[in-house]
Amino acid sequence: MKMILLRKFRFLILMVFLIACSMHIMIDLLPKLERHGNSGCSCSHTPSEEPQSWGKQGWPNKHTLRILQDFSNEPSSNVSSHSLERIPVTGDKTQAFRRLEHHGQRGDRKRQFIQDAAVTKNMPVKGSRLSALYEHPLYKRSVPPLTDEDTLFNVNTDIRFDPKAAEDQAWNTEGTLDEFSPTGELTADSYPNWLRFHIGINRYELYSRHNPVIDALLKDLVTQRITSVAMKSGGTQLKLIMTFQNYGQALFKPMKQTREQETPPDFFYFSDFERHNAEIAAFHLDRVLDFRRVPPVAGRLVNMTKEIRDVTRDKKLWRTFFISPANNVCFYGECSYYCSTEHALCGKPDQIEGSLAAFLPDLALAKRKTWRNPWRRSYHKRKKAEWEVDPDYCEEVKQTPPYDSGTRLLDIMDMTIFDFLMGNMDRHHYETFEKFGNETFIIHLDNGRGFGKHSHDEMSILVPLTQCCRVRKSTHLRLQLLAKEEYKLSMLMAESLVRDRLQSHPHSATPGCNGQAITPGIECVVRMH
């Protein structure tokens, strides 16, 4: 009798399990069947600047929501990034964004832009191509008037400069007389350049187009005396936090391979080295594209003995220094990968070059929110991400906050174009400033794995564009402009990089499209079906 009851119980459990599986399968298949008649991408519309509401009736399936939202346990997430932000009530902020997106973008003005470029097509280029580019009407659009809610910091006469309030890590308290030591009341104009850069951040941009503080800050990154060095926690490869005599800080990525070395063909994107010159070139590319979403980056030649070993208080870092058989100074630090004697960073004999990226404001002063990139790759040798197997994946993204309204989806498209021109496949997360809610730009951080293959175009990076068929109108027009011979992107990048102390290698001067800049019609950047 007991055996019969046990068998019936097992049979009941099996039936419940089968019914549950069938229900899950039906839930996953229903949205795809509903969209089956509307699959494909006609792209018959024109690129839009209008912040649109792309959310449709219904809601993405449970699996997609988990992919887009559950990232609080990711290594790169900060403490304030445990949930998606609620979409703020649209009001003045949305109106301001619409004014920004519509400003100067009427049909007759668009035609005038193209006509201006056509008139000058066969004219000889005189002087700086870069200066001519920045004089073009497309590069003179202004942001709307800023309110207190549109600026990251509200500067007034009560502001006092306390350098140690910005960071609390590894401050050098044994200063000398020649160090920057502010006293008394200071105006904003007398602040150090790194602080003026922080004060200038607003809802629409990290820095204004012709802000003289940026060039001064780039000079500071190269010339300021380094007073303290510490290893940055987290990350897969070694990075150093360097503090300067004016209390500014920057993230140092040392050279791990020669400038001419490309990503080996058998390397996965997640096991590639981070290139210091890719960080430098990414900053210049971001400026040429007029995004201005990458913090200032400059190349610097560092003395490993005097400017790292002798000033660090990080004992774990100090203990990894040694002299190689070739009598070069080397160190390897501590990190998840490539931090061992076999992967040591060696100078010539103690000089090593690297990139220095200016710090953003400390999280205690300006919280940032970390978002999982909807088109994040699987970071697995065999598995594929959902967007790689589902051609209708964008339809689910467009129904999920914050991509169902505002300009966030268009910002993702800008980031996609930026990554394609760099060949960067390592965009797993992105960040925004928490103060501005969802109506703000995406910060383009961590670009070290770009520019790895100068003669190869990784077309899978463009999948967000081909699936969503959306691109910001101003971005589309600038790409068309950069397709013209007189504004050839490779030439503009080469001219811009000459200004850097290290003058990054040619690979980073020829972004995208097999090293041929952007082909006419930008078909290699935006595949309009």
Three-state SS across 37-85? HHCCCCCCCCCCCCCCCCCCCCCCCHHHHHHHHCCCCCCCCCCCCCCCC
| Res 280: pLDDT | 94
250 is in an annotated binding site: no
480 is in an annotated binding site: no
- pLDDT of residue 102 exceeding 80: no
- pLDDT of residue 40 exceeding 70: no
- pLDDT of residue 66 exceeding 60: no
445 is in an annotated binding site: no
Q: pLDDT digits over 424-472, tens only?
A: 988 989 999 999 999 999 999 989 888 887 778 889 999 999 999 999 9
- pLDDT of residue 483 exceeding 70: yes
User: What residues form DSSP beta bridges with 304?
Assistant: none
Query: Which pair of structure tokens corresponds to residue 347?
Result: 């100078």
Going by pLDDT thresholds of 50, 70 and 90, the confidence category of residue 338 is confident
- pLDDT of residue 63 exceeding 50: no
- Strand, helix or coil for residue 148: helix
Please report where in the chains the tokens 């000459």 appear, as a residue. Answer: 498
Catalytic residues: 426
| Res 474: pLDDT | 95
237 is in an annotated binding site: yes
Backbone angles phi, psi at 210, to 5 degrees: -120, 35
Going by pLDDT thresholds of 50, 70 and 90, the confidence category of residue 311 is very high
| Res 475: pLDDT | 96
431 is in an annotated binding site: yes
Annotate 77-143 with DSSP letters as a single string: --TT-SSPPPPPPPSHHHHHHHHHHHTT--HHHHHHHHHHHHHTTTSPP-S-HHHHHHTSGGG-PPP
Going by pLDDT thresholds of 50, 70 and 90, the confidence category of residue 195 is very high
Task: Specify whether the CB–CB gap between 332 and 343 falls below 8 A.
Answer: yes
| Res 237: pLDDT | 84
- What is the residue-averaged pLDDT of the chain? 77
Q: How many other CB atoms are there within 10 angstroms of residue 388's CB atom? A: 14
| Res 235: pLDDT | 72
473 is in an annotated binding site: no
- pLDDT of residue 302 exceeding 90: yes
Going by pLDDT thresholds of 50, 70 and 90, the confidence category of residue 121 is very low
| Res 456: pLDDT | 81
| Res 86: pLDDT | 36
| Res 227: pLDDT | 97
